Structure 1
């Protein structure tokens, strides 16, 4: 039987703008624009449920049509919802501007996600797993809910994973503060920039080792260079799968979900095998616009 996962994080609409042509300040630039379900917490939950892991999503949506649509989509994907509807607040919206090489800039209106409360997160089930999207900690509105969820999960003997989310907000929040908040996490899932920022190590492998000195497992994504798994003295690197990159939005969330599915479901699997499977999932996401 698979370990159930409670995911705490944002629910949002992603407006993905895939740009073409050359930059044209003050003029027009061609683009392909699509709207898809997004939000880091919702993305991880949707991918986990589709992989067959029992998943509960705790978060907030607005009392509006986008919120209702996102809830219906997530429920159809197999996610058990613990979403509070917030009257008068809009459901979150993220505009993702995607350049021709697949890299993107994010414009975020987090809306109802910013009023997440500790009571919105279900009580932990002993033996379960909590995955916390770092965005929950990086704003004063939902921070109390994130910290309370972490403490309750560790007290109940659950395993805990945390994604630092984004280097800019992380720097503004305070590195020592974030490290203190997440000290009880079993597994941390930064990208290379976040790992370097959190540790002060310019080399990604050294940064991963430094994080693994604080947590039982550190897995660092390296973009086109693949990923690192570090636990104790064990360091495993696996290359990325070849892919034609259309949009990197949500690739980290797909990676996190795939890793949790592999790690929680087959504890005896080798880190190399787990990383290979997960990198294949992430490669599928970057081939198309949108996070899921």
Structure 2
């Protein structure tokens, strides 16, 4: 079972008139946990979920698909909210009303893999608690994956935010990051060169998503870049999280979660093709609604059989 740590919240997505909003359960780590169980990989989520209307909505949504939900101790209790609006291409912009003030992760079980990222590794005071959990997981022999999912409006000053991300990257075995994240972290930088630097800092695998252009990956001396499949985009909510779930599902099938090793170019290409397709199928429907195996019958053979 994969343990996921991070925010669960409600996305209130604006309709075309900008006045009516539809509530969708979300939060990047929660979306990853949901994507994993839908792909047949058991997952537990440790998060800050309130005993309120939105908290019950989120919990019921996750539990209905089989996510094992653990409410983490926190200083405050309300469920967080993100307001989202779409541009003409279905790309979301966000306005957040949230807290990440978890105080303790020691009681949350971690079997062979821990995934985290997004606001859980960005916002104090909880981010320091999550970083400590990353270190403890690796010390206990588990592997760790990270998706920084940088939110510039919440990241604070650039220098300290960059230092934090680089410290967390060095503590991870697998890193997935978007080209938009890298454009903020390293203005004018080349995503492939950043991926190479990050891979040299410790992770066995660094993947950069490139929106409609697919993704690239670096693992040791091996590299690959793969285009994304054609898709009619409804919106991009949860697409990056679906990609992460697809990537972790592929790595699990390859026997890499819990025992991460470098991938060769052919393995990288297969992993990217599978994860790209998972993300594309999510973009074809509203909200963070990741696919199930029946939705991926044409690419299911990309999963390794060991």
Q: TM-score range, shorter-chain basis?
A: 0.7 to 0.9
**Structure 1 position 124, deviation (Å):** 2.7
Deviation at 1:144, TM superposition (A): 2.4
**Residue by residue, what CA displacement relative to the aligned partner does 1:19-71 show, whole Å, maximum 9, x if unpaired?**
3xxxxxxxxx4677421110111100001011111111001111212212211
Change (3 A) 1:266 1:162: same
Deviation at 1:258, TM superposition (A): 0.7
Give the corresponding residue for 1:110: 98
Tell me which residue corresponds to 2:125: 141
Does the 8 A contact of 1:16 with 1:95 survive in 2?
yes
> Where does structure 1 lack aligned partners over 5 or more consecutive residues?
20-28
TM-score if structure 1 supplies the norm length? 0.87
CA RMSD of aligned residues (A): 2.2
Q: Distance between the aligned counterparts of 1:130 and 1:203, measured in 2? A: 29
Contact 2:234 2:285 in 1 (8 A): yes
Match of 2:26 in 1: 38
Q: Does the CA contact (< 8 Å) of 2:223 and 2:268 recur in 1? A: no
What is residue 26 of structure 1 aligned with on the other side?
A: none
Aligned pair 1:259/2:231, yes or no? no
1:127-177 Cα offsets, whole Å, 9 max, x none, are: x10001231121112112211210111111111100011251446352123
Cα distance change on mapping 1:199 and 1:157 into 2, 3 Å:
farther
Contact 2:179 2:191 in 1 (8 A): yes
Judge conservation of contact 2:55–2:79 (CA < 8 Å) in 1.
yes
Which consecutive residues of structure 2, in runs of 5 or more, have no partner in the other structure?
Answer: 256-262, 290-306
Q: CA deviation at 1:95?
A: 0.9
Q: Which residue pairs with 2:85 in the alignment?
A: 97
Aligned to 2:142: 158
Distance (whole Å) between structure 1 residues aligned to residue 13 and residue 161 of structure 2: 30
Number of residue pairs the alignment of both structures matches: 276
Aligned to 2:292: none
Residues 198 and 234 of structure 1, relative CA distance in 2, 3 Å threshold: farther
Aligned partner of residue 61 in structure 1, secondary structure: coil
160-169 vs 77-86, which deviates more?
77-86
The range that moved more, 84-93 or 245-254, is: 84-93
Match of 1:184 among 159, 171, 179: 171
Contact 1:18 1:99 in 2 (8 A): no
State the TM-score, normalizing by the size of structure 2. Answer: 0.83
| 8 Å Cα contact 2:169-2:198 kept in structure 1 | no
Change (3 A) 1:212 1:170: farther
Q: Report whether the alignment pairs 1:131 with 2:118.
A: no
